[in-house]
Copies of this chain bind each other. A is one copy, B any other.
Amino acid sequence: MTGEFQHTLDSKGRLSIPSRLREELGNVFFVTLSMDKCLSAYSAESWQSFSDKVNEMPYVKQRKMRPLFAYAAKCELDAQGRILLPQNLRDFAALTKNVTVVGCNNHAEFWDSDSWSNIYINETTPENIAAVMEELEF
């Protein structure tokens, strides 16, 4: 998944998914919190493999995964290509109106547009890009 899209959260908490990402995310996918102040969306398929992996862990480790599942929402696109984001997820990522949807290879991220601008500016430096390229031998 690639690209950066500027969308808006409506008064009912709905977010339309960029058409470019719909094919890869599928009609039903999972949204949960991220280690950054944003949300991550995973296709049903990759969520399943994640969930399988957790099931094979010892119980004590599984407990640590709880927040991830507690926050996770199974989202289904409506006829207009939108999902309803639960309140707790919106709160976590401080999403109010302007949302930036970002394609991140194997998942998508939902950012408050202002938060995203800051991250993005800091990360998009020539030095940073160079470091990434180097690491990938790209």
Q: Which A residues form the contact surface with B (CB < 8 A)?
A: 1-4, 20, 30, 32-36, 50-51, 53-55, 59, 61-74, 86, 88, 102-106, 120, 123-124, 126, 128-133, 135-136, 138
User: A124, B2: Cβ atoms under 8 Å?
Assistant: no
Once A3-B72, A105-B54 are accepted as A-B contacts, the answer to whether A120 and B62 lie under 8 Å apart by CB is no
A40 CB → nearest B CB, Å = 9
Judged by DSSP, the binding face of A is helix
A121 CB → nearest B CB, Å = 10
User: A70, B129: Cβ atoms under 8 Å?
Assistant: no
A53 to B3, CA, bound (A): 19
User: B2, A105: Cβ atoms under 8 Å?
Assistant: no
Chain B residues with Cβ below 8 Å from A88 are 4
CB-based nearest B residue for A135: B61
Once A20-B74, A70-B3 are accepted as A-B contacts, the answer to whether A35 and B133 lie under 8 Å apart by CB is yes
User: A64, B3: Cβ atoms under 8 Å?
Assistant: no
CB-based nearest B residue for A88: B4
Chain B residues with Cβ below 8 Å from A3 are 70-74, 86
